[in-house]
Structures are given as C-alpha cells and as structure tokens.
Chain A
Amino acid sequence: MIAIEALIKIVVLVVIILTIVAYLVLLERKISAYMQDRIGPNRVGPKGLFQPLADVLKLVLKEMIVPAKANKFIHALAPVISITVAVGALAVIPFANYIVIGGQKISLLIANVNIGVLYILALSSLGVYGITLSGWASNNKYSLLGGLRSSAQMISYELSLGLSLVGVLMIDGTLQLDKITMAQSGGLWNIIYQPIGFLVFVTAAFAETNRLPFDLPEAEPELVGGYHTEYSGMRWGLFFLSEYTNMIVSSALMVTLYFGGWSLPFVNYSALGANLAALVQFVTFFAKLGILIFVFMWVRWTLPRFRYDQLMNVGWKIMLPLAILNLLGTGAVMLALK
C-alpha cells in the first residue's frame, strides 16, 4: 500500500517536474529575449507555447553521436547519473503538508527522511560524478577540462553550501525539511534570522547548479561546451534536463529553508480543511519557487561569467569565511538568548 502510494507520488511528481523543466527552457528563452529587447520564440503554437514540445521532439529524433575513441559505457552512463541524482533530490521536498483521501492522511512528501537536508547535500555531491565522468569519457580535451573545473568548483562550494545551512538547522533544531517548514509557519521566515547565511547559500547554489555566473564547466567561448561538447541528441538533453531540475531543487530547498516552504504568514490552515489547505500550500510553494527560479534566470542574463581564479577566490576566501562567521555568530546569539 505504502509502496503503491509512493509509486503514484513519484510518477506524478516526475511528470510534473519534467513538464515544468521543459517549460522552464521556454521561460528562460523568453526572459533572456525580453531582457535583450527581443520577443523570443513565438512561432510554435500560440505565443510559442508549443516550443518545448518541438525542442523535445528534436532532441529525441536527433542522432546521438559517440566519439570514436570515447569510453562508450561511461559516455552513456554519465548523463543518466546526472538526471537521476537531480530528480532523486526532489523526493524529500515538501510541496505541501498533507491531503486526506478517504479518511486517510497522505503526506505530500515522497520520502519523509529524517535527515532530508543531508540527503540533498549528499545527492548534489554525487551530481559531480555525472559531469566529471562525461568529461573524461568523451576523450576530448575541452570536455576533460570542463569536467575537472566542475569537480574543483563543486568541492569548493560544497563547503560553504553545507556550512551556510547549519545556521538554519541550529535555529530549527532538525534536518527534516517538513519540520523546518512547520517551524517557520508559525513565526518568522528563516531569512530574517539568517540573511548572511542565505547570501552564501544562494551563491553556492548558483555554483552547484553550474549556472551563470559560475558556468565554468561549460564556458562556451573557451571550452566549446565543456563536459557536454561530445554529447548530442537525448543524451545532451538529459544534461539539459538535469541542469534545470537542479535549479528547481536548489530553489525548492531555498523556499523550504529560508522562505517558509509552503506556509504563508497569518494564514490559519486548520480553518480551510485539509485538502483546500494542501491546495493553497501547493500553490504558495510553487509561487515562491517560481519567483526564485526567475531570480536564477534574471541573474544569469545579467552577470557575465567569472574568471576561474576569481571563482576560486570567491569560494575559498570570501564564501567559506563568511559561512563560518555566520555559524559562529548564530551560535553566539543563540547562546546569549538562552
């Protein structure tokens, strides 16, 4: 019963997320167009709304070219790792509280793991394998450089990412994401308590998702696409999907940790009834998610790429000390208030 319930939730979630991802691509193209005084894709369907379908169709039909001297198995495996890890992280994101069907309380969390935050951090560290392996397996110097940059970048920013979260965890005293949401639903959002931690987290999240201004593993001008230079067709499509899924995961994590998750201040959910409350919560969550994703894209089309040494400087000399200071500061304040 539990297994079937989980399976249904997984299928529904994956379908929803992948659809969202497809439309995020369109959204990104539209946003970039508007920021550059253009209109963007508007030919496929009304206002270009069927563009994602066309894109997917193209990717599926396109030949997947494998370089002659590539490691064929790992070349095929790498994008699968990337997308698996990205989608897997969604399992612990609480999109809403619970719904009641037939008197049965069904949590809208796929897996209520008691170490949810750790689980996400662990999976996102695994994501680097997909990129590094693809870079190595392609047998192409640019791909390899992209892969190497990616691993160096991930290691550098993982530290700040983890440490910046600790402040939130200390305040709420839990690693379970739904409990962190609960904790914020009554009072103030964590961003009020943890502004510096949030900044460090956002920066690190950009770096972890390989988005501009930290997309050095791809770096088209210097690495001609970096780790996915030798990928085409749906394999390339998987990398693309995982990048956007990662963006959703990061944004969802931010919503949950800093912006009160599905909760809204001054709303009494118990008065609404469980299912209506869940709907409101669901909408709330996705609205917050949407805003954050917009910010992701907004930043991408505003800032140019960092230089590699700058990236390392920011990671080790600014973000890491800031995260540690934030941790110590939080600890000191909590101690003083006790």
Chain B
Amino acid sequence: MTSNRNGKSGPKLTLWEKLYFPEIIHGMSITIRAFFRPKFTRQYPEERWVPPPVFRGRPVLVLEDETRVERCVACGLCARVCPSLAIDVQAAETELDKERYPERFEINMLRCIFCGFCEEVCPEEAIVMSQDFEMTFSNPKEAIFGKDRLLTPASSLKDRLEFLKQYR
C-alpha cells in the first residue's frame, strides 16, 4: 500500500520499481555519469565574463562625449516607473536648450532590481543599463549612487546604445 501524507494513493509502481534497489542503481548511474561529464565552471576573478549588449547591468546616465553634458532632462519618469522606488531625481532650471537638468540624481543600488524599466521609459535615452554587474558596498549609504558615479561617457556605452537603436 503506497500512500503519501495526504492519504491519497501515490503512483502505481511496477514490481521492478517496488524492489527499490534496481531504481537506486539507476539513480546512481545518473549521478556517476554526471561525475565524469566535462565541467564548465568559470574561474571568476581571473576569467572575466563580458556581458553581451542585451545584458542589463547597473543603470547609468549617459554623458555626451563632445559637450560633456548629461542627456538627462530630469523628467522623473524613471523615478515614477521604477517598481522598487530606487530612483530619486531633483530637477532644476538650466540655461541650456533642454531647460531642465538633474540637480541631483540618485539610484539606490540596494533597491534597484535591474528590470530596465527606467531605460525603457526614458524619452532621451539618457539612462541605460550598463554591463557593470559587480557591485559591493560596505554600508547602505555607499549603495546610493549619485551623479558622480552614474555619469558615463556615451562612447563607453556604444554597445548598449547600438543595441537599443536596433531592437527598440
């Protein structure tokens, strides 16, 4: 009589299966085959992985190469769409044509879930997901990235910007 904890009868077993030991041998044959299979483990700190452009790493702000001005106009849509409330933007007025710029732009990397919604909603392609996924902090304050750490030259984000142009 086979029955599980709910009192329902379990699967019907053949006599061969009921003998149990043959099935154990079968199981062990599977693990021993795995034992001899080649391994693909990457030796991480020595062997680095370069993510493809489709990879969503840490969100960064795009800095135009020639003008050295951030693309961001501080519209706050990224902050609004962010499901984890990771982004905080404070806009201010500027003499530039874009009228407004982010006086403060902070992403709390402890809250960020790398969903990429901010990149998707951005009307200026000013916030994009970089290839950086290695982040460690020694205290919660360190995890709040301000403009100093977010601004990244467009030239070093070429892959992602290219990818966005192609698929979005």
Q: Tell me whether A199 is interfacial, beta carbon within 8 Å.
A: yes
Q: Is A53 an interface residue (CB 8 A)?
A: no
Taking the nearest CB of chain A, how far is it from the CB of B42, in angstroms? 10
* A104: Cβ under 8 A from any B Cβ: no
Residues in chain A near residue B32, CB distance under 8 A = 35, 298
Q: Are B24 and A35 in contact (CB under 8 A)?
A: no
B34 and A34 contacting across the interface, CB-CB below 8 Å:
yes
Q: Residue-by-residue, is A19-31 near B (CB-CB < 8 Å gives 1, otherwise 0)? A: 0000000000001
Closest B residue to A314 by beta carbon equals B20
Is A35 in contact with B34, judged by CB distance below 8 angstroms? yes
Interface pair B41/A39, CB less than 8 Å apart: yes
Q: Are A38 and B39 interface neighbours, CB within 8 A?
A: yes
In the complex, what distance in Å separates the CA atom of A39 from the CA atom of B34? Answer: 12
B37 interface hit (Cβ, 8 Å): yes
* Beta-carbon contact of B39 and A302 below 8 Å: no
Q: What is the distance, in angstroms, from B24's C-beta to the closest C-beta of chain A?
A: 7
B92 interfacial contact with A, CB 8 Å: no
- Tell me whether B40 is interfacial, beta carbon within 8 Å: yes
Question: At the interface, yes or no: A303 with Cβ under 8 Å from chain B?
Answer: yes
Interface string of B1-45 (1 = CB under 8 A from A): 000010000000000000001001001101110111101110000
Determine whether A299 belongs to the interface, using a CB cutoff of 8 Å to chain B. Answer: yes
- CB-defined contacts of A298 to chain B, threshold 8 Å: 28, 31-32
How many Å lie between the Cα of A303 and that of B29 in the bound state? 12
Q: Which residue of B lies closest to A300 (CB)?
A: B31
A303→B23 CA distance, assembly (Å): 10
| Inter-chain contacts of B21 with A (CB < 8 A) | 199
Residues of B within 8 Å of A50, CB to CB, are: none
From B30, B31, B36, name the one whose CB has the most chain A CB atoms within 10 angstroms.
B31
**A303 contacts B27, C-beta separation under 8 Å:** yes
Bound: A31/B39 CA distance, A = 13
Per-position binary interface string of chain B over residues 34-58, scored 1 when its CB falls under 8 Å from any chain A CB and 0 otherwise: 1111011100000000000000000
Give the interface of A toward B (CB within 8 A): 31, 34-39, 199, 298-299, 301-303, 307
Q: In the complex the two chains form, what is the Cα distance from A265 to B101 in whole Å?
A: 87
CB distance from A117 to the nearest CB of B (A): 25
User: Is chain B's binding surface mostly helix, strand, loop or mixed?
Assistant: helix
Considering only CB atoms, which chain B residue lies closest to A199 in the complex?
A: B21
Chain A residue with Cβ nearest B24: A303
Q: Which residues of A contact B41 (CB under 8 A)?
A: 38-39
Given contacts A35-B31, A37-B40, A299-B28, 10 further A-B contacts (CB under 8 A): A34-B34, A35-B32, A35-B35, A37-B37, A38-B41, A199-B21, A298-B32, A302-B24, A302-B27, A303-B27
Q: List 17 A-B contacts (CB under 8 A).
A: A34-B34, A34-B39, A35-B32, A37-B39, A38-B39, A199-B21, A298-B28, A298-B31, A298-B32, A299-B28, A301-B31, A302-B24, A302-B27, A302-B28, A302-B31, A303-B24, A307-B5
Q: Please give me the residue from chain A that is nearest to B38 by CB atom.
A: A37
In the bound complex, CA of A35 to CA of B35 (Å)? 4
Q: How far is the CA of A39 from the CA of B24 in the complex (A)?
A: 25
Residue ID in chain B nearest A36 by CB atoms: B34
Shortest Cβ-Cβ A-B pairs, 10 listed: A302-B31, A39-B41, A35-B31, A34-B35, A302-B27, A302-B28, A35-B34, A35-B35, A39-B39, A38-B41
CA–CA, A301 to B34, complex, Å? 11
**How far apart are the CA atoms of A37 and B40 in the complex, in Å?**
8
Residues in B whose Cβ lies below 8 Å from that of A35: 31-32, 34-35
Instruction: List, in ascending order, chain B residues with CB within 8 A of A299's CB.
Output: 24, 28
In Å, the complex CA distance between A35 and B28 comes to 10
Q: In the complex, which residues of chain B have a beta carbon less than 8 angstroms from the beta carbon of A307?
A: 5
A145 and B31 alpha carbons, distance in the complex (Å): 32
B5 to A, closest residue via Cβ: A307
Residues of B within 8 A of A302 (CB): 24, 27-28, 30-31
Closest A residue, CB atoms, query B29: A302
> Considering only CB atoms, which chain A residue lies closest to B39 in the complex?
A39
Q: How far is the CB of B28 from chain A (nearest CB, A)?
A: 5
In the bound complex, CA of A34 to CA of B39 (Å) = 8
Distance in angstroms between the alpha carbons of A299 and B35 in the assembled complex: 13
| CB-based nearest B residue for A42 | B43
Q: Digit string of B101-135 for contact with A (CB within 8 Å is 1, else 0)?
A: 00000000000000000000000000000000000
Give the residues in chain A near B37, CB-CB below 8 Å: 37
**Residues of B contacting A36 in the complex (Cβ-Cβ under 8 angstroms):** 34
CA distance A303 to B31 in the complex (A): 10
